[in-house]
């Protein structure tokens, strides 16, 4: 399997499919590069080089004890981009991966970046505080941490069978396979890595990172997202990023990379070819 080496020596796995202009895909919590398979296959068959990596501590990447925070995640992304000498990139970030993409630009700029796509992404800031009164209370994230320590396998089952894919909504019909894939990928992540990543995606303030985005940006978010509510995530990010385009998927849940993969794929191709 291909790996790149991060600044601290950590080994990071990546999947590199197709040829053409590069599209780099950053995954959500507690998943890995496999969560992008539908989009990666589509992009690679339409003339793009689609690259998806496992974040440190997730999937097949090294389960480091330290570095489970956004600055390191962003620097790991930079290590991937620099090692493969990628240029004219479209960066695509789903959920936590959207934070990774934003922080990469905040720390490393857009010299190598042509476009950005944020999908169900955590920026600008999920956690409620004095200057972010519309965020979610810390008790929401404390419950996730507590569930992870008590029985993280069941936590992932509960997320997959309920809010992540909207399977708790009337009329929802999310396949057992999709839900099982979420559970399996979650358990491939290191216990400490996944636990500490909760703070990384919830409490990191990405507002200055979004202000640094100076390339065409597409923001996609479902308005029934129960993990990163639309008002907290996509709506706020699109309002902050200069000249961003916002696409709202009516009634869509958080996990639209699976539940709305055809529509998402078409929107990605349209944006890439614009």
Q: Is the pLDDT of residue 189 over 90?
A: yes
Q: Could you tell me the strand order of the sheet in which 48-53 lies?
A: 3-5, 11-17, 48-53, 21-26, 89-94, 113-119, 217-222, 245-249
Largest distance between two CA atoms of the chain? 48
Percentage of the residues of the chain whose pLDDT score is greater than 90 = 100
Catalytic residue among 35, 95, 120, 148: 95
Computed over every residue of the chain, the mean pLDDT equals: 98
Q: Is the pLDDT of residue 111 over 90?
A: yes
Can you give the CATH number for the domain in which 159 is found? Answer: 3.40.50.1820
Question: 3-state DSSP call for residue 229?
Answer: coil
Catalytic residue among 13, 53, 254, 260: 254
pLDDT-based confidence at residue 12 (cuts at 50, 70, 90): very high
CA 233 to centroid of chain Cα atoms: 12
User: Does the annotation count 153 as an active-site position?
Assistant: no
User: Does the annotation count 225 as an active-site position?
Assistant: yes
The tally of domains found in the chain comes to 1
User: Which pTM value belongs to this model?
Assistant: 0.97
Question: Residue 253 has what pLDDT?
Answer: 98
User: Does the annotation count 16 as an active-site position?
Assistant: no
Catalytic residue among 54, 76, 209, 225: 225
Give the residue-averaged pLDDT of 42-62.
98
Residue 251 belongs to domain spanning: 3-272
Question: Residue 1 has what pLDDT?
Answer: 80
């Amino acid at each position: 399997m291909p790996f790149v080496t991060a600044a601290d020596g950590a080994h990071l796995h990546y999947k590199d499919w197709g040829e053409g202009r590069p599209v780099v895909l950053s995954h959500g919590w507690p998943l890995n590069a496999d969560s992008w398979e539908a989009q990666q296959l589509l992009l690679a068959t339409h003339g793009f080089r689609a690259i998806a990596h496992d974040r440190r501590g997730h999937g097949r990447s090294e389960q480091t004890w330290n570095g489970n925070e956004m600055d390191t995640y962003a620097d790991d992304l930079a290590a991937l981009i620099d090692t493969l000498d990628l240029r004219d990139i479209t960066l695509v970030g789903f959920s936590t991966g959207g934070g990774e993409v934003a922080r990469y630009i905040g720390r490393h700029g857009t010299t190598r970046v042509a476009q950005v796509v944020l999908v169900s992404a955590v920026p600008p800031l999920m956690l409620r505080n004095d200057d972010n009164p519309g965020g979610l209370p810390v008790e929401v994230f404390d419950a996730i941490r507590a569930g992870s320590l008590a029985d993280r396998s069941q936590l992932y089952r509960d997320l997959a069978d309920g809010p992540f894919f909207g399977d708790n909504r009337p009329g929802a019909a999310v396949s057992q396979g999709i839900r099982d894939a979420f559970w399996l990928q979650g358990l491939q992540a290191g216990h400490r890595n996944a636990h500490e990543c909760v703070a990384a995606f919830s409490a990191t303030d990405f507002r200055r990172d979004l202000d640094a985005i100076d390339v065409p940006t597409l923001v996609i978010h479902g308005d029934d997202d129960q993990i990163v509510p639309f008002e907290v995530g996509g709506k706020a990010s699109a309002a902050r990023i200069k000249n961003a385009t916002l696409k709202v998927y009516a009634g869509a849940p958080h996990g639209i990379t699976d539940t709305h993969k055809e529509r998402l794929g078409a929107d990605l191709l349209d944006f890439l070819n614009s």
